[in-house]
Amino acid sequence: MPSAAMQEYLAEAYRLAYYKKDDRYISTSDLAEVLHVSAPAVTRMVQRLKEAGFLEHEPYRGIILTPSGEREALMNIRRHRLVERFLVDVMQFGWHEVHQAADELGATLSERVVNRMEEMAGFPRRCPHGEPIPNAAGHMPRVVDQPLNHSKPGSDLVLSRVHTHDSDKLQYLESLGLRPGTRFHLLARAPFNGPLQVKVGDKLHHIGYELAGVLRVCREDEFELL
């Protein structure tokens, strides 16, 4: 079984590749950026993962996970997202509190315990931040969505995912009534990367362009995962 550090690298590599439309190769520089580590550290870990058979590295193109590497990545992601869901739904933690805790707990839990957490949380399909949860067989549901700041004014939308674990941002979004699954209406978008005006229920809010970029939205019929 790969170490906790190896699992983290594999999971982040999978996440980076997951939403790429064509080329599933990712660069080591992108991996270093999301993991907040140096380029030499990534190079050393990539070599370890390659020797273990979890990825392939092609010069000038990047790295790609092997089937065994993808399996390990999916199981790591599954543990993390189910632990987050359990902490929020069963233990009543706030969605802004659970990311780090899930990282720490996920590396220590057996598959049996994770499956029981899944059952107690009601077999969720998404984590508290809207990301899809792989099933026990390693199938990752496909999500269809786009950034809110790319959406057309006048659209009825559903908040699909929130691409941040920043506690202050998550608490602010919750104060606006915005969590994955929330339905709202995009009224207007100011020019030159100005704020967006949204209506959540009967309340109007203005959301900055940068914050709107971490909110992924979809139509109501696109929210259900397949």
Q: How far does CA 144 lie from the centroid of its chain?
A: 13
Contacts of 155 (CB under 8 A, 6+ apart): 185, 186
Q: Give the model's confidence band at 1: pLDDT under 50 very low, under 70 low, under 90 confident, else very high.
A: confident
Residue 178's pLDDT is 97
2-57: per-residue pLDDT in tens?
A: 888 899 999 999 999 987 767 789 999 999 999 999 999 999 999 999 999 999 99
- Crossing angle of helices 39-51 and 4-18, in 10° steps, is 100
Question: What sign for the dihedral angle of Cα 88, 91, 94, 99?
Answer: negative
Q: What is the pTM of this model?
A: 0.90
Checking if the pLDDT of 108 tops 90, the result is no
State the pairing for strand pair 196-200/55-58. Answer: unpaired
Contacts of 212 (CB under 8 A, 6+ apart): 147, 148, 149, 196
Q: Mean pLDDT over residues 200-216, rounded?
A: 97
132-189: per-residue pLDDT in tens?
A: 999 999 999 989 999 999 999 999 999 999 999 999 999 999 999 999 999 999 999 9
Q: Which domains does the chain have, with CATH numbers?
A: 1-140 (1.10.10.10), 146-222 (2.30.30.90)
Q: Mean pLDDT over residues 200-222, rounded?
A: 97
